[in-house]
Amino acid sequence: MRQDIPVIVIGGYLGAGKTTLLNHLLRHADGRKIAILVNEFGDLPIDADLIEAKDDEMIAISGGCICCSFGSDMTAALIKLAQLDPAPDYVVIEASGVAMPGAVAASISFLDGFNLGGVVVLADSERIRAQAADEYLGDTMLRQISDADLIVQTKIDLISSDVVQDVRDWLGSANPKAQVVATAQGRLPPEVILGVEMVAGQPQASAHADAGYESRVFSEIPPCDPIKLAKSLATGAVGIIRAKGFVADQAGQNWLIQIVGERFDVTLAKAKEHIAVVCIGRKGALETGAIGVMFAGDAG
């Protein structure tokens, strides 16, 4: 049986930097087959030099990625994607500028063959606070932010570092359960957006070209209560942006743990797996000591 395909929902208003982020992701796909779903092809989010072929329904992108438009029917487009051979490794849905990414994400939950890989909401450092105060858009912006598991604060090269910090604090208070990462030009490691990469069914730690992030493998994990462990990792303020891996319970069953922000997902593994969990965080913010304690079972 095939693994469920992780679906990442990218939200945020027009101009928040979704296009830049997606193109950076596609340029660093590194063998991952990513399927991007967009509302419409019109203002195409894909840089021209990445496009290999295009028809009405699908754009082929170098490196085995694709982009499809779904118009007004996202569910139908996803069902179609699941039937592709080979199936994509990841689906990234670009929600429209006024869509509620949480609602988009909720509709993934009942679709067979997919698994929500997180809601990522982009916020333009320069404009987000004005947008959040806008008469027409304000409540929509705040609801988008509160839907996020991971908030990407974009365009930090356009403002001073003080303001970057102010905006970061504001975003954090607007949604305390999300992790906030900051970027210029959408330069985030793919695993921050997509989640920890699985190779041959095993989570991989990667050495990032981007020096701002680190990923650590924890493999000394005694049998535990997987839900309790996942919850403490996700909500324990230990700097985990994403985590993924296998743990065993007291009865010897293996469980897949996936974390993004405070969202965690624990599912029974289909076979015996190698026990290890990869955690990704910002360099210096990932509290490996505290995380190690949690894995050791002393989290309380």
Partner 1 sequence: MPNTTIFSAKKIITMNPSRPEASHVAVRDGRILGAGSLEELATWGDYTLDTRFEDKVLMPGFVEGHAHAMEGSLWAKVYCGWFDRADPNGKLWMGVKSVDAVVERLQEAEAVLEDATTPLSGWQLDPIYMDNTTVTRADLDRVSTTRAVGVLHASGHIMNVNTKALELAGMLKQGLNHPGIPLGADGFPTGELKGPEVMTPVGPFVGYERNMLDADETGLRNFAKLCVRTGTTTITDLASRMDDDAVDVMLRVTNEPNYPVRLMPFRFFMGLSAKELIVAVLAFKKRSTDRLRLGQIKIVVDGSIQGFSARLRWPGYHNGAPNGLWYIAPEHLSELLHLALEAGLQVHTHTNGDQATQLVLEKLGPALQAHPNPDHRFTLQHCQLADAAQFRTAAKLGMCVNLFANHHFYWGDEHYALTVGPDRATRMNACRTALDSGVPMAIHSDAPVTPLGPLFTAWAAVNRITASGRVQGEEERIQVHEALWAITMGAAYTLHLDGEIGSIETGKKADFAVLEADPTACDPMLLKDIGVWGTVQGGRIFPAASL
Interface with partner 1 (CB under 8 A), residue total 32
Compute the least distance from the CB of residue 188 to partner 1, in Å.
Answer: 24
Facing residues of 68 across strands?
A: 37, 58
Q: Which is nearer to partner 1, 56 or 220 (CB)?
A: 56
Q: Judged by CB under 8 A, which of 31, 42, 86, 300 binds partner 1?
A: 42
Q: Which is nearer to partner 1, 62 or 267 (CB)?
A: 267
**Quick check: 2 and 57 in contact, CB under 8 A?**
no
ω before 86 within 30° of 0 (cis)?
yes
Helix (H) / strand (E) containing 77: helix 74-82
Query: Judged by CB under 8 A, does residue 136 bind partner 1?
Result: yes
State how far the Cα of 171 lies from the Cα of 153, in Å rounded to an integer. Answer: 8
Compute the least distance from the CB of residue 157 to partner 1, in Å.
Answer: 23
Query: Judged by CB under 8 A, does residue 41 bind partner 1?
Result: yes
State how far the Cα of 255 lies from the Cα of 99, in Å rounded to an integer. Answer: 33
Q: Which is nearer to partner 1, 140 or 288 (CB)?
A: 140
Q: Which is nearer to partner 1, 54 or 208 (CB)?
A: 54
Query: Judged by CB under 8 A, does residue 64 bind partner 1?
Result: no
Q: Judged by CB under 8 A, which of 27, 47, 140, 212 binds partner 1?
A: 140
Compute the least distance from the CB of residue 235 to partner 1, in Å.
Answer: 18
**Quick check: 247 and 257 in contact, CB under 8 A?**
yes
Compute the least distance from the CB of residue 74 to partner 1, in Å.
Answer: 7
Tokens of 166: 């102010």
In the region spanning residues 186 to 205, those forming contacts with partner 1, defined by CB under 8 A, are none
Measured torsion, CA atoms of residues 146, 147, 153, 154, in degrees rounded to the nearest 10: -130
Q: Which is nearer to partner 1, 42 or 284 (CB)?
A: 42
- Per-residue x/- track, 67-106, partner 1 (CB under 8 A): --x-xxxxxx--x----------------xxx-x--xx-x
State how far the Cα of 224 lies from the Cα of 231, in Å rounded to an integer. Answer: 12
Compute the least distance from the CB of residue 163 to partner 1, in Å.
Answer: 24
Q: Which part of the chain contacts partner 1 (CB under 8 A), choosing from 131-139, 174-182, 198-206, 267-275?
A: 131-139
b/e map of 174-197 (b: 16 or more CB within 10 Å)?
bbeebbbbbbeebebbbbbbbbbb
Compute the least distance from the CB of residue 41 to partner 1, in Å.
Answer: 7
Q: Which part of the chain contacts partner 1 (CB under 8 A), choosing from 136-144, 170-178, 206-214, 281-289?
A: 136-144
- Cα–Cα separations (whole angstroms), residue 215 to 6, 109, 180, 246: 19, 27, 17, 16
H-assigned helices in 93-189 = 101-106, 128-132, 138-147, 161-174
- Cα–Cα separations (whole angstroms), residue 227 to 22, 97, 125: 32, 34, 35
Q: Which is nearer to partner 1, 154 or 215 (CB)?
A: 154
Interacting residues toward partner 1 by CB under 8 A: 13-14, 39-43, 69, 71-76, 79, 96-98, 100, 103-104, 106-107, 109-112, 136-137, 139-140, 143
